[in-house]
Structures are given as C-alpha cells and as structure tokens.
C-alpha cells in the first residue's frame, strides 16, 4: 500500500492546531487555569478580547491572541 502523506518539517502549523475552542481552553492558554473562564466571558462581553464564534462556541486563534498581547504591551 502507499504511504500516508507526512507533513513537511518546516510546514506551518495547521489552522486546527491554532484554534482554541471554548472559554475554558482560552482561559487555560491566557491565564494558565481553566477556572478563569468567567474572566474570558467578561472580556468577550466587553469586546476586549479578539475572538470569533463557531456556532455558539467562543473560539480564538493562538496566533491572534499572541499578536494582541504584543500590541497591548507596545501600547504601554
């Protein structure tokens, strides 16, 4: 049988690996603990966090969050 396609070593990460699904994953990524999901909801309610929705789920891209954090640091 043919071999399965292997990703190239220098290939960019897939979009799926860049997406955080749900407030708990976003809280874990930003604050180090998923118990901070209420803080994520609060930031989303105030349009203070770069997120998008897939259906009813809050999602964010890791790369966008990192760029947003860097922009926040530069603004100070």
Answer whether residue 3 is part of any domain.
Answer: no
Q: Is residue 55 part of a domain?
A: yes
Residues 17-64: tens digit of each pLDDT = 999 999 999 999 999 999 999 999 999 999 999 999 999 999 999 999
Structural domain contains residue 6: no
Would 42 be classed as within a structural domain? yes
Q: Cα separation of 44 and 37, whole Å? A: 11
Note whether residue 29 is domain-resident: yes
Question: For residue 52, what are the CA distances in angstroms to 1, 32, 49, 59, 74?
Answer: 41, 21, 9, 5, 24
Question: What is the distance between the alpha carbons of residues 29 and 74, in angstroms, rounded to a whole number?
Answer: 21
The answer to whether position 21 is within a domain reads yes
26 within a domain of the structure (yes/no): yes
Question: Number of folded domains in the chain?
Answer: 1
Which residue range(s) make up the domain with 55? 17-75
pLDDT bracket for residue 74 (50, 70, 90): very high
Is residue 7 included in any domain, yes or no?
A: no
pTM exceeding the 0.95 threshold for the entire prediction: no
Three-class secondary structure of residue 70 per DSSP:
helix
The DSSP element (H or E) to which 59 belongs, if any, is: strand 57-61
């Amino acid at each position: 049988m043919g071999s399965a396609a292997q990703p190239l070593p220098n290939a960019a990460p897939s979009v799926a690996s860049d997406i955080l699904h749900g407030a708990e994953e976003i809280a874990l990524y930003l604050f180090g603990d998923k118990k901070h999901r209420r803080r994520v909801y609060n930031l989303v309610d105030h349009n203070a966090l770069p997120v998008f929705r897939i259906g009813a789920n809050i999602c964010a891209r890791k790369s966008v969050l990192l760029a947003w954090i860097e922009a926040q640091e530069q603004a100070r």
